[in-house]
């Protein structure tokens, strides 16, 4: 196995404890190459492994219905931290911690953080075991390190694709954020939630870089989408069907707000909300997305019509200004 901890012994113990005869393995794309090896572990434990080939972007999407339809006794969900309050099928979350050292990447980030004294530290779950070490390196370099814990996440300092509450809780106290993890995804979320300069220390590539220009580019795109949506008369309110993306009450509030603002609004439900799926509704001028907020953020150029986050729709309806939304942060959490 590569440099990740798949907690094989824990998986075996859970299978034995539950006496599970069928086990559904669910993981994000980057981990699927390990699926067959993980299936062998399940098989050697006396259970039948079933590997989900469906895309899996977060812990919002535990394959509960699929497991029930297959008579599965245990779901092993890899790569994410638990998000649902209750699963109808026994489920364990294997967080897949990375074993890579973070030292070199953080050392490189110091140059980019040179002008900042107070640094907020945030990580994806894969690196949280290095939180103390990262703090130590920054402190030795003369930084005051602040780690947020807003009580919504499993761990202090943790950020997920749609929850930046830990970063937001300390945004006013810090000059900049250092995110430890791979890729732009989470770091952009921090920048867009806190309006603070954000630097990435990527331990996979042992490099560090600023994402401030990327964040500014996205903010320009978001502003343009809001302006376009102000002209819209008919809105589609998107409701996700994945277990952690189903926010019907919020969608009803959005519909009521749209109608109060003189707009027409329809509720649209779906598991996978894609540009192709929305092409089928030419009478809808713009969408408000109550499912996964990253649908709006990560593919703005691919949708033909604006797909706003709920907070952005409040700007369209005049409930908040664009300037105050920037301070508040685009994400609700
Ligand atoms: S709602 Fe979106 S960002 Fe949040 S966990 Fe699910 S896939 Fe990730």
The 10s digit of each residue's pLDDT in 278-328 is: 999 999 999 999 999 999 987 768 999 999 999 999 999 999 999 999 998
Per-residue pLDDT of the chain in tens (333 residues, 90 and over written 9): 448 999 999 999 999 999 999 999 999 999 999 999 999 999 999 999 999 999 999 999 999 999 999 999 999 999 999 999 999 999 999 999 999 899 999 999 999 999 999 999 999 999 999 999 999 999 999 999 999 999 999 999 999 999 999 999 999 999 999 999 998 999 999 999 999 999 999 999 999 999 999 999 999 999 999 999 999 999 999 999 999 999 999 999 999 999 999 999 999 999 999 999 999 999 999 999 999 999 998 776 899 999 999 999 999 999 999 999 999 899 989
Contacts (Cβ under 8 Å, ≥6 apart) of 180? 102, 105, 106, 121, 122, 123, 124, 127, 130, 134, 200, 201, 203
Six-digit token string for 311: 């907070």
> Which residue's C-alpha comes closest to atom 5 of ligand 1?
58
Residue 176 lies in a domain: yes
Task: Give the residues surrounding ligand 1 with Cβ less than 6 Å away.
Answer: 57-60, 160-162, 244-245, 292, 294
The answer to whether residue 22 sits within a structural domain is: yes
- Do 145 and 183 sit in the same domain of this protein? yes
Q: What is the distance in angstroms between the CA of the first residue and the CA of the last residue of the chain?
A: 34
Model's pTM, two decimal places? 0.94
Dist. CA 112 → ligand 1 center (Å): 29
Q: Give Cα separations from 193 to 154, 209, 215 (angstroms).
A: 19, 19, 10
Which of 182, 210, 238 corresponds to the end of one domain?
210
Domain residue limits at 230? 215-328
Q: Residues 38, 8: one domain?
A: yes
Q: Which helix (H) or strand (E) holds 259?
A: helix 248-260
Q: Which of 56, 80, 160 is the best mutation target for the ligand 1 pocket, counting ligand atoms within 8 Å of the beta carbon and taking the most?
A: 160
The secondary structure element, H or E, covering residue 36 is helix 35-44
∠ Cα 332 151 63 (to 5°): 70
Domain boundary among 159, 193, 210: 210
- In this structure, the answer to whether residues 125 and 77 fall within a common structural domain is no
| Contact predicate 174/138, CB 8 Å | no
Examine the fold and report which residue of 31, 65, 96 is the final residue of a domain before the chain moves on.
96
**3-state SS, residue 268:** strand
Contact in structure between 122 and 95 (CB atoms under 8 Å): no
């Amino acid at each position: 196995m590569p440099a990740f901890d798949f907690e094989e012994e824990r998986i075996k113990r859970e299978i034995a404890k539950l006496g599970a005869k069928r086990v559904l393995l669910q993981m994000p794309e980057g981990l699927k190459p390990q699926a067959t090896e993980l299936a062998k572990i399940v098989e050697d434990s006396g259970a039948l492994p079933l590997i989900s080939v469906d895309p899996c972007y977060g812990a919002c999407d535990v394959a509960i219905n699929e497991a029930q339809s297959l008579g599965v006794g245990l779901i092993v969900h890899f790569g994410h931290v638990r998000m649902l309050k209750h699963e109808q099928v026994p489920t364990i979350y294997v967080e897949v911690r990375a074993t890579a050292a973070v030292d070199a990447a953080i050392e490189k980030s110091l140059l980019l953080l040179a002008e900042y004294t107070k640094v907020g530290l945030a990580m994806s779950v894969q690196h949280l075991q290095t939180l103390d070490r990262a703090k130590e390196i920054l402190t030795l370099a003369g930084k005051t390190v602040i780690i947020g814990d807003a009580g919504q996440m499993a761990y202090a300092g943790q950020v997920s694709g749609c929850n930046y509450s830990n970063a937001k809780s300390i945004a006013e106290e810090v000059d900049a954020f250092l995110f430890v993890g791979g890729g732009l995804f989470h770091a952009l979320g921090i920048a867009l939630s806190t309006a603070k300069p954000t630097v990435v220390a990527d331990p996979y590539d042992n490099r560090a870089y600023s994402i401030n220009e990327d964040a500014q580019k996205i903010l320009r795109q978001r502003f343009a989408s809001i302006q376009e949506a102000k002209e819209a008369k008919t809105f589609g309110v998107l409701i996700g069907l994945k277990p952690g993306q189903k926010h019907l009450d919020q969608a009803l509030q959005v519909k009521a707000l749209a109608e109060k603002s003189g707009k027409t609004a329809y509720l649209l439900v779906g598991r996978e909300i894609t540009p192709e799926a929305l092409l089928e509704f030419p009478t809808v001028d713009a969408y408000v997305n109550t499912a996964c907020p990253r649908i709006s953020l990560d593919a703005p150029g691919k949708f033909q019509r604006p797909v706003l986050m709920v907070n952005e729709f409040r700007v369209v309806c005049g409930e908040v200004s664009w300037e105050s939304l920037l301070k508040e942060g685009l994400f609700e959490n």
